[in-house]
């Protein structure tokens, strides 16, 4: 079975500061890794995913995540956040033929 732990329930940060949202997972088999984002009053949207290949994956809006197999982590980072990044962020894992397992979510609060 797989499980996901998001280590911070809330992360307050000032605009233009860097941010890291932490995600650790547990699995006895190889998994695919995802970050989904939920903006206020909207549905979940895929932010980025790691399936194979380069361990560093990037999104179109400046976020990046690095798959670290030895530490079973998939932390999400952005060097400079914007007010519009305020949202709930969910880390998720799945074995290739399995169902998506989500973490509990991290609320990113970007302050002016």
12 touches 73 (CB < 8 A): no
89 touches 104 (CB < 8 A): no
The contact pattern for other proteins, residues 42-81, with x = CB under 8 A and - = no contact, is: xxxxx--x-x------------------------------
Q: Assess 99 for contact with other proteins (CB under 8 A).
A: yes
Q: Assess 102 for contact with other proteins (CB under 8 A).
A: yes
For 111, the enclosing helix (H) or strand (E) is: strand 106-111
Sign of dihedral through CA atoms 69, 45, 5, 14?
positive
Residues 2, 4: Cα–Cα separation, whole Å: 7
Sign of dihedral through CA atoms 51, 52, 55, 58?
negative
Options 40, 53, 96, 112; binder of other proteins; rule CB under 8 A: 96
Task: Return the number of the residue (15 or 59) whose C-beta is nearest other proteins.
Answer: 59
The contact pattern for other proteins, residues 1-20, with x = CB under 8 A and - = no contact, is: ---x-x--x-----------
Binding residues for other proteins (CB under 8 A): 4, 6, 9, 32, 36, 41-46, 49, 51, 90, 92, 94-105
């Amino acid at each position: 079975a797989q499980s996901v732990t998001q280590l911070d329930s809330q992360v307050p940060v000032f605009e233009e500061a860097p941010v890291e949202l932490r995600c650790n997972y547990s699995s006895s088999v190889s998994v695919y890794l995802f970050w989904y984002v939920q903006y206020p009053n909207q549905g979940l949207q895929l932010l980025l995913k790691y399936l194979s290949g380069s361990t560093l994956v990037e999104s179109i809006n400046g976020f990046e995540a690095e798959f670290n197999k030895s530490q079973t982590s998939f932390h999400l980072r952005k060097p400079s956040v914007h007010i519009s990044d305020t949202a709930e962020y969910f880390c998720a894992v799945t074995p290739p033929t399995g169902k998506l397992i989500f973490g509990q979510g991290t609320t990113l609060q970007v302050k002016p």
